[in-house]
Amino acid sequence: MLYNMVSKVSYLLCAYAINIFIGRYLGPEKYGIFGVVFALTNIAYLFLTSGLPQATSKYVGGDISKATPVMKAALKLQLPWSLFLFALFFAGAGPISSIILNDSGLAFYIRVAALTIVPLALFNVYQGALLGSAEFGKEAIGLILRSVIRLFSVIVFVLWGFGIKGAIAGYVCAAVAGAIIARSFCKFPASD
C-alpha cells in the first residue's frame, strides 16, 4: 500500500508541476493546446489501461512460474490493439483537428502525442506483470521514474525553446523510457 501511495503521489505531483509550468511559461493559449491534445490521447489510453493489464496481473499472480508466458501473451494482444489506436489517431488527426476542433493546426500536435500510445500500452502490461508477481516496489519505482522523467524532459525541452512541441516530445520520451524501465524490471523465474 505504501509503495502504491508513494508512486501515485509522485505521479500526481509531477503532473501538477507540468501543468503549472506549461501554463505559466507558455501562456494560456499554448496550455489550452496542450490540454486538448492530451485529453484526446487519454481517450486512447483509457482503452489500454483496463482489462488486459489487470488480467495479466491476475494470471501472473495465480502462478508466478507462468509470468513470462502470460506477459508475452498479453503483449501479443496489447501491441496490435495499441498500434491500431495509434494509426487511428495519427491518420485521423487531420479530420479531428479541422472538423471536430475547428483548428487544423492541432493535427501536428495530435500526431506527435499519438506516439505515446504504444509505449504506454506496453508499460501497462509490464506493470500488470509486476503487480501480479508481487513486485510492488519495482512497479512503484517504474511509475515514479516515468513521472520524474516526464517532468524533467518537458521542462528541459520547453526551456530549450521547443515550446509546446517540446512539452509533447517530453511526454513521448517519458513514455518510451517508462516502457523500457518497466520491461527491465520484468525478470521472472523460468516457466515449467
pLDDT tens, position by position, 25-43: 999 999 999 999 988 888 8
pLDDT at residue 192, rounded to an integer: 53
To the question of pTM greater than 0.85 for the whole model, the response is yes
Mean pLDDT of the 63-83 span: 90
Average pLDDT over the chain, rounded to an integer: 90
> Would you place residue 134 in the very low, low, confident or very high pLDDT band (cuts 50, 70, 90)?
confident
Residue 1 has pLDDT above 80, yes or no: no
Q: Residues for the chain: how many in total? A: 192
Per-residue model confidence (pLDDT) at position 178: 95
Mean pLDDT of 123-131: 92
The pLDDT of residue 30 is 92
Q: Write the secondary structure of the chain as one string of H (helix), E (strand) and C (coil).
A: CHHHHHHHHHHHHHHHHHHHHHHHHHCHHHHHHHHHHHHHHHHHHHHHHCCHHHHHHHHHHHCHHHHHHHHHHHHHHHHHHHHHHHHHHHHHHHHHHHHHCCCCCHHHHHHHHHCCHHHHHHHHHHHHHHHHCCCHHHHHHHHHHHHHHHHHHHHHHHHHHHHHHHHHHHHHHHHHHHHHHHHHHCCCCCCC
Place of cell 516530445: 169
pLDDT at 117: 94
pLDDT tier at 23 (50, 70, 90 boundaries)? very high
Residue 53 pLDDT exceeds 70? yes
pLDDT at 189 over 80: no
Query: What confidence score (pLDDT) does residue 54 get?
Result: 85
Give dist(CA 88, CA 72) in Å, integer: 24
